[in-house]
Amino acid sequence: MSESTESESRKLLGRLREALAEDSAGQERLDKITHLIASSMGTEVCSIYLFRDSETLELCATEGLKAESVHQTRLRVGEGLVGRVAKSSHIINTADAPKEKGFRYMPETGEEIYSSFCGVPIQRLGENLGVLVVQSKEARDFSADETYALEVVAMVLAEMTELGAFVGEHDAMQARHRQSVLIKAGSAQEGTAEGHVWLHEPRVVVTNPIADDPETELKRLDEAVDTLRVGVDKMLEGAAGGDKEQLQVLEAYRMFANSKGWMKRMQSDIARGLSAEAAVEKEQSTARARMEQVTDAYLRERLHDLDDVSNRLLRILTGQGAQTGAELPADPILVARNIGPGELLEYGRSLRGIVLEEGSVGSHAAIVARALAIPLIIHADRITTEALNGDHIMVDGDQGIVHLRPDETVVNAFRDKIAMQAEAQERYASIRDKPATTLDGVTMSLTMNAGLMADLPSLEGSGAEGVGLFRTELQFLVRSQMPKRSELSALYARVMDAAKGKRVVFRTLDIGSDKVLPYMTPEDEPNPALGWRAIRVGLDKPGVMRMQLQALLRAANGRPLSVMFPFIAQYEEYTRAVWEMEKAKERERKLGHPLPEKLDLGAMLETPSLGFAPQKFFDEVGFLSIGGNDLKQFFFAADRENERVRKRYDTLNVSFLTFLEGIVARCNHNATPLSFCGEDAGRPLEALCLAAMGLRTLSMRPASIGPVKNLFRRVNLAEVRQVIIDARDQGEQSVRKPVKDYLASQGIIV
Ligand code: PEP
Ligand code: MG
């Protein structure tokens, strides 16, 4: 780039800044800008098109085209050259526009046939806001320097529009953030919620995109990058020996923080008149735009890392932390790209709902959201760019849908749905103390799943008979170091106290697979779900399990205690786990601590193999609980975390139900107490079919107990069983439809 173009673009930006600083109305500013650009670039035409809605661009200001066409001329995305720029987010630069694919002549603009055309997308952080166009009669290609200058101007325009610099009657941009948006996403925790947006990490606002003293800006950038480097190095030190993925991310941060190319590009942007912040954001925008197009997972991750690093740098430069002074609304719905379990726990039950741009069904955040019973939406595309703090938002975790700034009809329909649910809740409350007895006299035992102390109040409210599954891993997952035995035993004791004598089944640490402890070096496994996890880790490295068993014994302090071991795949694993418990008891006895008056030991049946275990296993095991989430993924060989396959096979598939029936038969034969504690136990139709297969104890989310019990109390279980048997005899693949149809014939809609 020559000195002269550098100062040209700086001059242009300088004039732009003056125009923006003047106290004029939005439209006047836009007009000035087009005039300024056309005269600086020596073109007859300069126009600014902004998005009116997600599909339509509107000519908002022009120098050279007919003034009457402003706010009249509209284009669909993809239509004409301007529409193509908007659609592809790529510059179109041509000396012979009429020959270009998609060229459209728009007589209403008084457009003569302009030969040259250069259109640059106006985008902010990967979000398309409009198109900046220059046109001239003379057939010429715009030079790389000229297109660069246009890009910089487009970026400043984007920044200014975001700041509301063009607020006016016709301001399409402002309209954009007022429009209602519907996002179809995924659901990681059911439930519905209405509230107001709380951005977990609010966007950094760059208020000074243009600077006239490059020296100062370069110095600011240098200092900020230094601070960033020091910060990343510190994080790396702190994470040494920890989670491999986290280390990989931090290494990537360090790589970017030391990247000469990155630095150089930002320095050259500053030399052309941008402020340090704007230079960082310009790079960030480019990375975001690439992110949209890249399909390679690794590359996408790295672009995400660059995005994070840019955010950090922006925060350093602007001094804007997560605290922006905004107040947490009374009904907050958290919006974030992603969130860790610890941060989520800090918000606790104050949140009404959570909407993540990324996230996964099995993530730690999802585990916490589930434990807190807060609706959680994942893969909500663009939510962090669309949502502003305080926006009205409705979250439908049942359907995986987010309504941002919903219009009145949506609000009404959604509120109707919530009201119906509330009505149903009242109905459930009225049967809270009644038994889950079917019309033909079968009484089901309904217990709840828990994982946090905060879950325990639900024990009373939901009418659960006890805690059928207490997932102990949360206390391990949300800490940065291994919890101490004394901490665990205090917590378990509080859980037992809160249960007031009702049975709590503690499951020993179930880590590995998707649950990786930050302070344990993870094994690099090609197939973690089939890898070194749960009891396998517990038996191979028994230190943690011993500590946990001791904590449990101590917490019981003489009271009855129930413990189950996760992921037992064969008899010998169970006996070795029991042996560990025997040793723990022995230690406690020697130390003079009281032992539980009754110790109930069981296993989770999560692999098909255990259903075929030798007779002696069924003779010896104290009780069994079917971990349907894992069992189903192994039964169908369909990863429970993989969106592509996780819903592919129906729990009510005849093969799966028949398999479960076989397990019930074996347990009945040996009088082995059996329960089912996967998510399906909390879905009324599934729960009913499980009961029809002979299960009598189901453990579920507390919120599911009401709906499940309500259904049981209205059905004849023997008839449901007959429907299933008939469907099986007729070769149906799934019994879902036959059972649903039967229920409908009884006036029950599920
Ligand atoms: C299961 O696998 O069904 C289960 C209850 O355990 P988790 O979901 O914690 O793996
Ligand atoms: Mg499991």
Ligand 1, atom 1, residue with closest C-alpha: 627
Mean pLDDT of 232-243: 76
Q: Do residues 508 and 535 make contact, with C-beta atoms less than 8 angstroms apart?
A: yes
pLDDT of 605 over the 90 cut: yes
Structure token pair of residue 12: 């242009």
With left for phi above 0 and alpha for psi between -120 and 50, is residue 180 left, alpha or beta? beta
pLDDT of 149 over the 70 cut: yes
Higher-pLDDT residue of 326, 537? 537
Q: Do residues 322 and 347 make contact, with C-beta atoms less than 8 angstroms apart?
A: no
Which pLDDT score is estimated for 72?
A: 86
Distance CA 651, CA 645 (A): 13
The dihedral over CA atoms of 52, 58, 61, 64, expressed in degrees to the nearest 10, equals 170
pLDDT of 504 over the 70 cut: yes
Mean pLDDT of 40-48: 90
Q: Which amino acid is at 38?
A: A
What is the length of the chain?
Answer: 750
Which pLDDT score is estimated for 325?
A: 61
Distance CA 404, CA 386 (A): 8
Lowest pLDDT segment from 239-253, 296-310, 500-514, 661-675: 239-253
Distance 238 CA to ligand 2 centre (A): 31
Query: Between the CA of residue 573 and those of 536, 557, 617, 673, 702, what are the distances in Å?
Result: 8, 27, 10, 19, 31
Distance CA 36, CA 709 (A): 71
Question: Hey, which of 360, 368, 604, 683 would you mutate to test ligand 1's pocket, going by the most ligand atoms within 8 Å of its Cβ?
Answer: 604
Distance CA 601, CA 484 (A): 23
Which pLDDT score is estimated for 514?
A: 66
Ligand 1, atom 9, residue with closest C-alpha: 471
Ligand nearest to the CA of 451: 1
- pLDDT interval class at 165 (50, 70, 90): low
Contact residues for 499 (Cβ-Cβ < 8 A; gap 6+)? 456, 459, 466, 467
Where does ligand 1 bind, in terms of residues with CB under 6 Å?
Answer: 469, 471, 510, 606, 627-630, 677-678
Higher-pLDDT residue of 21, 721? 721
Mean pLDDT of 332-353: 85
Domain ranges of the chain: 3-178, 181-202+324-420, 214-318, 435-745
Structure token pair of residue 53: 């809605």
Which pLDDT score is estimated for 169?
A: 44
- Per DSSP, helices labelled H in 334-381 are 341-347, 364-372
Question: Hey, which of 477, 510, 565 would you mutate to test ligand 1's pocket, going by the most ligand atoms within 8 Å of its Cβ?
Answer: 510
> Regarding the domain delimited by 181-202+324-420, which CATH topology (the fold level of the hierarchy) does it fall under?
Glucose Oxidase; domain 1 (3.50.30)
Which pLDDT score is estimated for 503?
A: 98
pLDDT of 110 over the 90 cut: no
DSSP letters of 623-652? EEEE-HHHHHHHHTT--TT-TTTTTTS-TT
Q: What's the angle, vertex CA 561, arms to CA 555 and CA 564, rounded to 5?
A: 110
Dihedral sign, CA of 430, 434, 439, 442? positive
Q: Please give the mean pLDDT across all residues of the chain.
A: 88
CATH code for the domain defined by 435-745: 3.20.20.60
Which pLDDT score is estimated for 566?
A: 97
- Over residues 49-65, the pLDDT tens digits come to 988 887 888 999 999 98
* Minimum-distance ligand 1 atom for the alpha carbon of 471: 9
DSSP letters of 77-102? TTSHHHHHHHHHT--EEES-GGGSTT
Which pLDDT score is estimated for 173?
A: 47
Q: Provide the CB-side half-sphere exposure for 648 (13 A, CA).
A: 13
Inter-axis angle of helices 26-41 and 3-21, to 10 degrees? Answer: 160
Which pLDDT score is estimated for 692?
A: 98
195: how many CB neighbours lie within 10 A of its CB? 19
Ligand 1, atom 8, residue with closest C-alpha: 629
Inter-axis angle of helices 244-257 and 297-318, to 10 degrees? Answer: 60
Q: Which amino acid is at 678?
A: G
Ligand nearest to the CA of 474: 1
- pLDDT interval class at 4 (50, 70, 90): low
- Over residues 491-500, the pLDDT tens digits come to 999 999 999 9
Mean pLDDT of 444-449: 97
Catalytic residue numbers, as ranges:
364, 677
CATH top class, domain 3-178: alpha beta
Which pLDDT score is estimated for 627?
A: 97
Lowest pLDDT segment from 282-296, 558-572, 610-624: 282-296
Mean pLDDT of 707-730: 97
DSSP annotation of 138: S
- Over residues 179-225, the pLDDT tens digits come to 788 999 998 888 899 999 999 887 777 778 888 888 999 999 999 99
Distance CA 248, CA 233 (A): 13
- pLDDT interval class at 167 (50, 70, 90): low
Ligand nearest to the CA of 641: 1
Q: Do residues 513 and 529 make contact, with C-beta atoms less than 8 angstroms apart?
A: yes
Which pLDDT score is estimated for 88?
A: 87
Ligand 1, atom 6, residue with closest C-alpha: 627
- Over residues 393-410, the pLDDT tens digits come to 999 998 999 999 999 999
- pLDDT interval class at 168 (50, 70, 90): low
User: Could you tell me which of 78, 90, 84, 138 has the C-alpha nearest to residue 114?
Assistant: 138
Which pLDDT score is estimated for 162?
A: 67
DSSP annotation of 653: B
Question: Hey, which of 606, 633, 699 would you mutate to test ligand 1's pocket, going by the most ligand atoms within 8 Å of its Cβ?
Answer: 606
> Regarding the domain delimited by 214-318, which CATH topology (the fold level of the hierarchy) does it fall under?
Enzyme I; Chain A, domain 2 (1.10.274)
Distance CA 87, CA 276 (A): 29
Query: Between the CA of residue 41 and those of 94, 134, 154, what are the distances in Å?
Result: 15, 8, 14
